[in-house]
Structure 1
Amino acid sequence: MIEYLKYFILIYGGLFAITNPIGAVPVFLSVTRDLGWKERREIATKTAITVVITLLVFALIGQWIFKFFGSSIDAFAIAGGILLFRMAMEMLSGNISTVKISREETEEFSGEAVTLEEVAIIPLAIPLLSGPGAITTVMLYTARSHQIFEKALIVASIVAVGLTSWLILYFSSKIQERLGRLGIKVMTRMMGLILASMAMQMIINGIRGAFGL
């Protein structure tokens, strides 16, 4: 039981670092700056639901994607590790990774009149939270899990990350007031450091598997 708990914490911690909902707070407040409290709550809810659905879909169909494109898990791990490492380097500088969302995209959605559904799905859920890094990670975790209980823990971790993201976005104003922009940048750097170590381990595991080391 303890091993399963450790496995859950490992997956949840990794996904939390990759999605980095705390770092997404300034973006969320920027694109919802002209909306009231009820609209922000609705967007936070739809964003969290979209994140969960997106990650669950790729977790469930990941193995068929590997087969369709003829890619091995080890090759995908190396490519995914490189992608995550790039994200980590940008996060270590205190910035939201441009692999997720660019500055131009943020300004585009904060400056135009768009529907709540559009804001919640793009850019908040995709690609800000459930971007390429998170999708790659859940696909790899699912591909490397062989027991039903392990797959269930992956699903539980995705749901937990979605719930955490909802809570953080729901209380985004208070979080920014307490942490400030400097505090959020510090948290983003911490998540970047965790992500960098995950990326390197992913690359190492991929190289070992590919070359039979």
Structure 2
Amino acid sequence: MEVLKDFLLFYGGLFAITNPIGAVPVFIAVTRNLSPEKRKEIARKTSTTVMVTLLVFALVGEWIFKFFGASTDAFSIAGGIILFRMSLEMLSGKLSSVKISEEEEHISEEAVTLEEVAIIPLAIPLLSGPGAITTTMLYMAKSSTMIEKSIVLLVVVAIGITVWIILSAANRIHQKLGTIGIKVMTRMMGLILASMAVQMVINGVKGAFNI
């Protein structure tokens, strides 16, 4: 039961950070001139890239900490600040500029291959941006047992599958929710993200000062 609780907590947090619902309008915009089959192919490639990116950083995060001499507490504080900035922009119903810039949002207009569209800007940095990478690395670094580490990896896989499902049904989701509905969902994700960010900073300060 504790394992399921940990899984759901991390899944909910990572879902709020990646915010695949909020990415639906961007996905529709960058694939508007493509056939349904190619849209599905891009959705698959995007979800695979998100999954691989987060898995890689989850697995090599410990060595990155050691290489740069950064403690998990310092990383927690820095990550919390990044997430809080993202949450403020999401609370206003906008995609965070920490995740994607205006230039990156329109890069697909010059993209030559499906791989370019799927990887940039959809997978990186729109879905698996600095916030998602930081959080995944931090959760993995603070996991002390193989079960806890396995939960982190399983959540990343689950997020990848979720991204694929949502992007594959992007048109239907947009029709059901509409622009206002998606903005409401984005604000809700922003509120969850803000609470996560504050907690990360609190945990980092406690650990750094042994409070």
* TM above 0.5: yes
Question: What TM-score do you get using the length of structure 2 for normalisation?
Answer: 0.99
Residue 114 of structure 1 deviates from its aligned partner by 2.4
CA distance in 1, matches of 2:179, 2:113: 27
The corresponding residue for 1:34 is 33
- What is the CA–CA distance in structure 2 between the aligned matches of 1:156 and 1:182, rounded to whole Å? 32
TM-score (norm 1): 0.98
Equivalenced residues, count: 211
The separation in 2 between residues aligned to 1:104 and 1:58, in whole angstroms, is 25
2:94 aligned residue: 95
Displacement, 1:203? Answer: 0.2
Q: 2 CA distance for matches of 1:9 and 1:120?
A: 27
Q: CA RMSD in A?
A: 0.7
Once residues 166 and 113 of structure 1 are traced to their aligned partners in structure 2, the CA distance between those partners, rounded to angstroms, is 21
Match of 2:141 in 1: 143
Contact 2:42 2:114 in 1 (8 A): yes
Amino acid at match of 1:46: K
Q: Distance in 1 between matches of 2:46 and 2:104?
A: 17
Q: How do 1:1-213 and structure 2 match up within 5 A?
A: 2-109=1-108, 111-213=109-211
Structure 1 CA distance for aligned equivalents of residues 134 and 51 of structure 2: 14
In 1, Cα distance between equivalents of 2:106 and 2:49: 22
Displacement over 2 Å in runs of 4+: 111-114
Query: CA offsets per residue over residues 138-192 of structure 1, 9 Å max, x none?
Result: 1000000001011111111001011011000000000000000000000000000
Identity %: 67
Query: How far did 1:107 drift?
Result: 2.2
Unaligned runs of 5+ in 2: none
